Amino acid sequence: METIWEILPSLVDKLAAHVVLSASAIGLAILIALPLAVWASRSQVVSRVALSLASLVQTIPALALLALFFPLLLSLRSVFGEGLPTLGFLPALLALTLYALLPILRNAVTAQANLDPGVLEAADGVGMTKWQKLTLVEAPLSAPFIMAGIRTASVWTIGAATLATTIGQPSLGDPIFAGLQTQNWALVLAGCFASAGLALAADNLLWVIEVGLARRKRWMTLGGIAVVALGILGAVWAQGAGSSERRIVIAAKSFSEQYILAQLIGARLEAAGYAVEYRDGMGSAVVHGAVANSSIDIAVDYTGTIWANYLNRKDNPGRDVMYETIRAWESRENGVTVLGRLGFENAYAFAMRSDRARQLGITSLTDLAAAAPQLTVGGDPEFFERPEWIAVRDAYGLRFARSRNFAPTFMYNALASGEADVISAYTSDGRIAADRLVVLEDPEGALPSYDAILMLSPRITGDKAVIAALEPLLGAISVEAMREANLAVDREDDRKMTPKTAAAQLAQTIEQQ
């Protein structure tokens, strides 16, 4: 496993992206909040409405707020055109700006409301215009209080920005999410320390500006502003220095197999001369939409997921018919090229500990249905909302005593500890064999096939060099090889590998076949 010191150099681009995103959101929030605060200070109605709306935004979890901008921007593309980004920087910026509004707005409104009436009367007495009174009297007196709100907003925003990973925006959330899914705690700590350090640095620099304003020490105020500006410019430069005309963006959903396959694909493209960027920890629906609109260039998806979620099909015509139907549909509807199948299937399956299954006499989903009212079922965060679960539930009449959500990696820990009796496992997961789990039979055929397929966005569909680099992977990965690679990442002993190392080992296995 990588140590923190080995990981830190790779965090530079994530840190730069995090700084640019957070600074942009805070800057935009300031531009919105300050004029609104001036207006609110002159109208009780505006004050109540503005503060109520800003407070309402705070009741929405940051992750949900980020996710909500994806369908919103998608619906607006019909108005603004196909060039409107629906993933990445823009939705993250908008969501975080809303999140940063409340502390800035509240402090600014409070500062305006508590200005000394005598000072304001004196300003009127000397004949100041409204603009002069605002800029020469109200603003200087309110500035320290407003800076306190900006400090609070900055800390909140830097922390919430880690969640932008889920909608395809690079941030310090990338190592945190990747580390959680692969149980690489050094990676989690590196992301957390970097994010916390950035928040502390920003808070202290803004404190210097706040003190400078309060004590009328111009050198402190200007010095703090200069350091903040240099930090932001440095982050912008670092992002620009890493740009490349031939950069290929590869997505990975939030489980080990996806991280490994992304690294496998990336290594082949780097060998072909491309610069590669990884977007890890993305949601399933987000990945599919991102490939369709070319926010992401390459992703591995699964036929069963597309069949159920996007074609809205509930029948099961067989693997080959399903694959060809999906291939034609993706090309026709989205302009996406399904390059081919990788050779293995990662289907949903229900798994139990062998001793527990033997104790209850369960070998199939039919048997499970009879015992379900006394059992707890565990699934990944999206499983119980997916059509596959609904199809299985209805086909067998499954009614469990309790259902619980776990991150994919932790589902197996829950099964081992007895916190779940049965889980929605994945057939290519190495922990099925390692933990000696029993995969329950599906006699009704309620679960569709899940061939892993390689998908290319419209932007690179015609790139023959990309296709040539990736074609050797088609049909080359057996389920046994994929299970071995997954287990190498998910295991918790000294043989644990990073996704990159496991991908290199998988590449060797492919070459030897």
pLDDT band at 83 (very low <50, low <70, confident <90, very high): low
214, containing H or E segment: helix 185-215
pLDDT band at 504 (very low <50, low <70, confident <90, very high): very high
Is residue 56 assigned to a domain?
yes
Contacts of 353 (CB under 8 A, 6+ apart): 415, 416, 435, 436, 437, 438
132 and 22 in one domain?
Answer: yes
180 and 52 in one domain?
Answer: yes
Whether residue 137 is predicted with pLDDT greater than 80 in this model: the reply is no
Alpha carbons 198 and 235: distance in angstroms, whole number = 12
Highest mean pLDDT among 186-200, 357-371, 487-501: 357-371
* 502 vs 112 pLDDT, higher one: 502
Beta strands per DSSP E along 361-418: 376-379, 402-405
397 and 381 in one domain?
Answer: yes
What pLDDT score was predicted for residue 239?
A: 73
The CATH number of the domain holding residue 154 is 1.10.3720.10
Highest mean pLDDT among 49-63, 255-269, 273-287: 255-269
Whether residue 474 is predicted with pLDDT greater than 70 in this model: the reply is yes
The CATH number of the domain holding residue 407 is 3.40.190.120
Is residue 435 assigned to a domain?
yes
229 and 83 in one domain?
Answer: yes
30 and 96 in one domain?
Answer: yes
pLDDT band at 243 (very low <50, low <70, confident <90, very high): low
Alpha carbons 510 and 198: distance in angstroms, whole number = 42
259 and 203 in one domain?
Answer: no
Mean pLDDT of 28-51: 86
Is residue 463 assigned to a domain?
yes
Is residue 444 assigned to a domain?
no
327 and 360 in one domain?
Answer: no
Residue at which a domain ends, from 439, 459, 477: 439
Query: Which of 215, 58, 214, 227 has the alpha carbon at shortest distance from 147?
Result: 214
172 and 64 in one domain?
Answer: yes
Whether residue 357 is predicted with pLDDT greater than 90 in this model: the reply is yes
DSSP 3-state helix, strand, coil percentages of the chain (rounded to 5)? Answer: 65, 10, 25
Query: Which of 138, 454, 51, 424 has the alpha carbon at shortest distance from 255?
Result: 424
Whether residue 102 is predicted with pLDDT greater than 70 in this model: the reply is yes
399 and 324 in one domain?
Answer: no
Residue with tokens 């809303």: 98
Number of structural domains the chain divides into: 3
Instruction: Give per-residue pLDDT as tens, 171-214.
Output: 888 888 877 776 677 778 888 888 999 999 999 999 998 888 88
281 and 196 in one domain?
Answer: no
Q: Which domain holds residue 400?
A: 348-439
Whether residue 63 is predicted with pLDDT greater than 80 in this model: the reply is no
* 141 vs 454 pLDDT, higher one: 454
Contacts of 373 (CB under 8 A, 6+ apart): 399, 400, 401
Is residue 18 assigned to a domain?
yes
187 and 207 in one domain?
Answer: yes
What pLDDT score was predicted for residue 37?
A: 85
- Among 184-188, 192-196, 233-237, 459-463, the range scoring the smallest mean pLDDT is 184-188
Average pLDDT of the chain to the nearest whole number: 85
Whether residue 372 is predicted with pLDDT greater than 90 in this model: the reply is yes
What pLDDT score was predicted for residue 41?
A: 78
Alpha carbons 265 and 276: distance in angstroms, whole number = 9
178 and 86 in one domain?
Answer: yes
What pLDDT score was predicted for residue 244?
A: 47
